[in-house]
Amino acid sequence: MRSIDPSVSTLIALLARRHRALAADLIRPLGLVPGQESVLTLLAVIEPRSQAELGRELGVERPTIAKMIGRMERSGLVVRGPAAHDRRLVMVSRSHRGRTVQGELERVWERLDEVTLAEFDEGESRAALDLLGRLVRNVDGARADEVRRRSDQR
């Protein structure tokens, strides 16, 4: 029987699924479920952020981000409140516990990087990061072109 070489897209999808599963295993002891780590990471960069902005950044619908933030609030990871300049906006910040978990999360990401690049030397690690960055830019560019093409057809 002839072996079929996997395509780049197949390997990327496989790596993404396995990497995400390992990440979920590593964040579970922190009391997090997938998606919540992304909220904490975004809030670590700019805080507070509106709930709507977090949803846009993560590419999720308003009901989805509202449910996620509600769950995180009940877990004591974030606090919500109205924006000072527009009380209709719901602003989200990390709680003390959320900041503590964020620090632990950074160590989890370091561990995940170590495991992912375990058999790579320093040069290979740098090359892998460069290639992955280029792949992301290629796909982002193609996606932007596709969105423009579709809007031009309307």
Domain coordinates of the chain in residue numbers?
9-118, 122-153
- Enter the CATH code of domain 9-118: 1.10.10.10
pTM, two decimals, is 0.78
Three-state SS for 56? helix
Q: How confident is the model at residue 86 (pLDDT cuts 50, 70, 90)?
A: confident
The answer to whether 30 and 104 are in contact (CB under 8 A) is yes
Classify residue 51 by burial, with Cβ atoms within 10 Å: 0-12, 13-18, 19+: buried
Mean pLDDT in the chain?
91
Each residue of 22-37: pLDDT tens digit? 999 999 999 999 999 9
CA pair distance 83, 29, nearest whole angstrom: 32
Each residue of 98-141: pLDDT tens digit? 999 999 999 999 999 999 999 999 999 999 999 999 999 999 99
